Amino acid sequence: MANIYDNAYDLEKAIRNSDEFQGLKEAYEAVMADEAAKKMFDNFRETQINLQQKQMQGEEITEEEVQQAQQVVQLVQQHEVISKLMEKEQQLNTVINDVSRIITKPLEELYGTPEEQ
Amino acid sequence: MANIYDNAYDLEKAIRNSDEFQGLKEAYEAVMADEAAKKMFDNFRETQINLQQKQMQGEEITEEEVQQAQQVVQLVQQHEVISKLMEKEQQLNTVINDVSRIITKPLEELYGTPEEQ
Ligand SMILES: [Ca+2]
Ligand SMILES: [Ca+2]
């Protein structure tokens, strides 16, 4: 029992010390240190969250909203400091998803994947 | 980098060997070995998943469906072997949620919780 938590804290430390997390941290701090980039990034995040919430609540998303969201995405993709941050987020996400798949394997084996049932 | 994966596999092993997972496994196998219990449990799971999907898709859930779901819940709660399984699932869920909170702490510190922003 204690063993699980010990291992979880070791893993947390390994994530924290990883190149992926350190790279993300630097990229995030670079965006936060640049007022215009920070504003653009906040706007991007807000747009994404709003659209996700609408989708989850089954609300209709207008064509105008889709176009606005696409414009915001294009803006951040063209912004070097922000696109660097998004790339670093993607890299750490991949690692976190791998980790999540590894540690939920016992459960997946027990209950079986949908395909195996 | 390798370090993260090493630690993740150690954590997976600790989860697999834990009393919580072993208890869940025994409770699950007890349900699967009892044909009537297995049928009732499958029915319960199916009902839950259907309602969740409707909710996520913003579909209306009728009063009849709510009542049916409540009946299914009552049935499984009264069934000793199934309620044991649900209790064990709850216990392992608590551990997995704790683990998830521990390993995402670096990210939470970086981005801040919604309350802190
Ligand atoms: Ca560095
Ligand atoms: Ca045992």
Dist CA A58 CA A52 (whole Å): 10
Q: Best interface-test mutation with B: which of A1, A3, A7 has the largest number of B CBs within 10 A?
A: A7
Domain count, chain B: 1
Q: Rounded distance, CA B16 to CA A103, Å? A: 9
Q: Does the pLDDT of residue A104 top 60, yes or no?
A: yes
Under a CB-based contact definition with an 8 Å cutoff, are residues B20 and A107 in contact?
no
Which string of b and e fits B59-83 if b means at least 16 CB within 10 Å? eeeeeeeeeebeebeeebeebebbe
**In this predicted structure, what is the pLDDT of residue A2?**
60
- Letter for the amino acid at B95? V
A93 closest CA partner among A31, A24, A14, A12: A24
Task: Kindly state whether residue A66 falls inside one of the protein's structural domains.
Answer: yes
Q: Which ligand neighbours the alpha carbon of A30 most closely?
A: 1
Domain of B55? 2-111
Residues of A within 8 A of B95 (CB-CB) are: 4
Partner A contacted by B106 (CB < 8 A): yes
pLDDT at B43: 92
What's the pLDDT score for residue A117?
43
Mean pLDDT over A89-101 rounds to: 96
pLDDT at B2 over 70: no
pLDDT at B116: 47
Is A26 inside a domain boundary?
yes
Determine, yes or no, domain membership for A73. yes
Contact between residue B84 and residue B30 where contact means Cβ atoms under 8 Å apart: yes
**Residue B48: which of B13, B86, B1, B101 has the closest Cα?**
B86
* Contact check, Cβ <8 Å, A10/B10: yes
Give the pLDDT band (50/70/90) at residue A116.
very low
Residue B72 is assigned to a structural domain of this protein: yes
Q: Give residue B44's pLDDT.
A: 93
Report residue B112 CA to chain centroid gap. Answer: 27
Whether the predicted pLDDT of A114 surpasses 70: no
Q: How far is B42 from chain A (nearest CA, A)?
A: 11
- Residue holding tokens 């893993």? A11
**Encoding tokens for residue A11?**
């893993």
What is the Å distance from ligand 2's center to B91 Cα?
14
In the numeric block, the tokens 């969250």 are attached to A49
What pLDDT sits at residue B34?
A: 96
Beta carbons within 10 angstroms of residue B27's beta carbon:
20
Residues of A in contact with B58 (CB under 8 A): 57-59
In a domain, A117, yes or no: no
pLDDT in tens, A5-47: 999 999 999 999 999 999 999 999 999 999 999 999 999 999 9
Note the ligand closest to the C-alpha atom of A22: 1
pLDDT per residue as tens digits for the range B33-81:
999 999 999 999 999 999 999 988 888 889 999 999 999 999 999 999 9
- Output the average pLDDT for chain A: 91
Contact B98 A5 (CB under 8 A): yes
Asked if A11 and B59 come within 8 Å (Cβ–Cβ), the reply is no
Q: Which two tokens stand for residue B107?
A: 């990210």
Distance A24 CA to ligand 1 centre (A): 9
Tens of pLDDT, residue by residue over B70-117, are 999 999 999 999 999 999 999 999 999 999 999 999 999 998 865 544
What pLDDT is attached to residue B113? 61
Of B48, B50, B42, nearest to B82 by C-alpha is B42
Residue A106 within a domain: yes
> Which CATH number is B17's domain given?
1.20.1500.10
ipTM score assigned to the predicted complex = 0.81
Q: Is residue A9 part of a domain?
A: yes
A19 CA distance to ligand 1 middle (Å): 7
